[in-house]
Structure 1
Amino acid sequence: MAALGPRSKPLVPALCRAFADCGRQLTPECAAERRDAAPSRASRFCPPRQSCHDWIGPPDRQSNLRPVQFYVPEDESPLEQRLRELRQETQEWNQEFWANQNSTFMKEKEEFIHSRLKAKGLALRTESGQRATLNAEEMADFYKDFLSKNFQKHMYYNRDWYRRNFAITVFMGRVALHRAWKRLRSGRR
């Protein structure tokens, strides 16, 4: 493999720009959806029309999770459809949980900071106009309290998360066996 010399450096950014938009044309449905959709919590990410794979989009603003656009093959069997739907339901459930959790966390954090600053007799803004903050030890109290308050919720979330992933894994095994059986049957004829 040859290394790029100093003369090729200007070429690299040009090539990157040239290939950056390759294959990014939106399907007419996605393009119309982007134009017409009001700002919402759901990502409006759309993969290229000719794609035959699942695509992972940019992180969601509320949940910080990356949404997945699932590929739907034309010859999708009922078992494959059930697997895809189960994965979609799990993704939506996960996105919703973390969006709510992060929203609650930020709200309670702001309230905690405000109450501590007020107890100290400080304003939310410093004299220079910057936002007033608490030190790490004071914030550690908030984090500890928040985790303690939400322990049960996180325990139920983890239990459900493992159940859903186990069900998805079982369905994936069933789909793999179904595909192998279908391939064997078509090979005999």
Structure 2
Amino acid sequence: MNNVDSVGPPDPVSNLRPIKYHKPKHESLVERKLRLKRIEVAKWNHEFWSSHNLRFVKERDAYKKCLADKGIPTANADQMSEFYKDFLDRNWKTHLTYNFEWYKKNISIVRLMMNTNIYKAIQWTKKFKF
């Protein structure tokens, strides 16, 4: 199992599963670029969701405390849905920016994957002298 990527348990804050990318023994330059780009994007994604989720929990706890201060010990589903909607409305631009960047980063990974596959195909044809 040393020649495959491995996936760990979800991070308690970001809720993302970390991936340890396999490094081939004779890694080519294009394979290295792809692996490093995937690591970079995973780190960026983890940082975004860690920050976002910490902010969400902090604001949710503050909302619940505000309700408790008003004599409402437990928030019901309607009250929490109001909080969720408000949170999403206040963070829509952040989510929009995140999604735009996420797509750009994934397109760059797809490009690198295509380059890697083309390189491997060329190496394969050289090996069999096609």
What are the residue-to-residue correspondences of 1:1-189 with 2, within 5 Å? 51-119=2-70, 121-122=71-72, 132-188=73-129
Cα distance in 2, alignment partners of residues 173 and 79 from structure 1: 10
Q: What is the root-mean-square deviation of aligned Cα atoms in Å?
A: 1.2
How much has 1:185 moved relative to structure 2? 1.2
Q: Deviations over 1:26-79 (max 9, x none)?
A: xxxxxxxxxxxxxxxxxxxxxxxx611000100001101100000001100011
Taking structure 2 as the reference length, what is the TM-score of the superposition? Answer: 0.96
Cα distance in 2, alignment partners of residues 140 and 60 from structure 1: 25
- Percent of aligned pairs sharing the same letter: 37
SS at match of 2:128: helix
Cα distance in 2, alignment partners of residues 172 and 133 from structure 1: 50
Higher helix share: 2
> Which consecutive residues of structure 2, in runs of 5 or more, have no partner in the other structure?
none
Q: Which has the higher contact order (CA 8 A, sep 6+)?
A: 2
Taking structure 1 as the reference length, what is the TM-score of the superposition? Answer: 0.67
Greater C-alpha Rg: 1
SS at match of 2:9: coil
